Structure formats: C-alpha cells, structure tokens
C-alpha cells in the first residue's frame, strides 16, 4: 500500500503591535521587500522536513537586511508554528 504524502502544517507570520506599527511606517517599496522575504521564510519553515528544534533562549535571533539599511530580526517558533518578527529597525550608519 502506498503512503500518502505527508502534509506540511503551515507556519503563520506574527508581529507585535509595536513592530507592526514600525513596519507600516516604512515606505511601500521597503514593506514589499520585507513582506516578500518573510513570506519566503514562512513557506520554507512549513516545507522543512527537519526535526523541530526549540531555540535556546540565549541564542541570538535570526535576521536579514533590506538593501536600504533596514534590519529585520525574527525567530521561528516550532511549538506554535509561527515565524515571529521581533524587530524592524534602521541600521545605524
């Protein structure tokens, strides 16, 4: 009997109110790039077949940079199946 393909549970994207407020203050082009990158991260997290590993509390958050000097810090929480955006801030020059 053939096995049915494993269904991947989708991850969701989560913002705190403060981070969402800062996200909305960014220009539309910056928001689009950040949103696209976060959507890619959420999709990759849901498609991953690796064992869920709970992050150590002292481990630094994951991050990526947007070309115009913004840093986005996030954390993948396998327990709640969410990608949590921790901070969106301009990079000091």
What pLDDT tens digit does each residue of the chain (93 aa) get?
Answer: 445 445 456 899 999 999 999 999 999 999 999 999 999 999 988 886 554 455 545 566 788 999 878 999 999 888 888 999 999 999 887
Distance CA 45, CA 52 (A): 10
7 within some domain = no
Distance CA 34, CA 23 (A): 9
**Backbone φ/ψ region at 64: left (φ over 0), alpha (ψ -120 to 50), beta:** beta
29 within some domain = yes
State residue 87 phi and psi, 5-degree precision.
-160, 140
43 within some domain = yes
pTM, full prediction: 0.76
Question: Could you tell me the residue range of the domain that residue 34 belongs to?
Answer: 12-49+59-90
Q: Total structural domains in the chain? A: 1
* Strand runs labelled E in the chain: 12-15, 62-66, 70-77, 82-90
The helix (run of H) or strand (run of E) holding residue 37 is helix 28-47
């Amino acid at each position: 009997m053939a096995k049915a393909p494993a269904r991947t549970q989708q991850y969701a994207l989560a913002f705190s109110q403060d981070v969402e407020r800062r996200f909305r203050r960014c220009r539309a082009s910056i928001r689009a790039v950040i949103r696209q990158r976060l959507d890619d991260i959420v999709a990759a997290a849901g498609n991953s077949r690796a064992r869920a590993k709970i992050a150590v509390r002292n481990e630094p958050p994951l991050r990526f940079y947007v070309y115009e000097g913004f840093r986005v810090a996030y954390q993948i929480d396998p327990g709640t199946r969410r990608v949590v955006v921790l901070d969106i801030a301009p990079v000091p020059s």
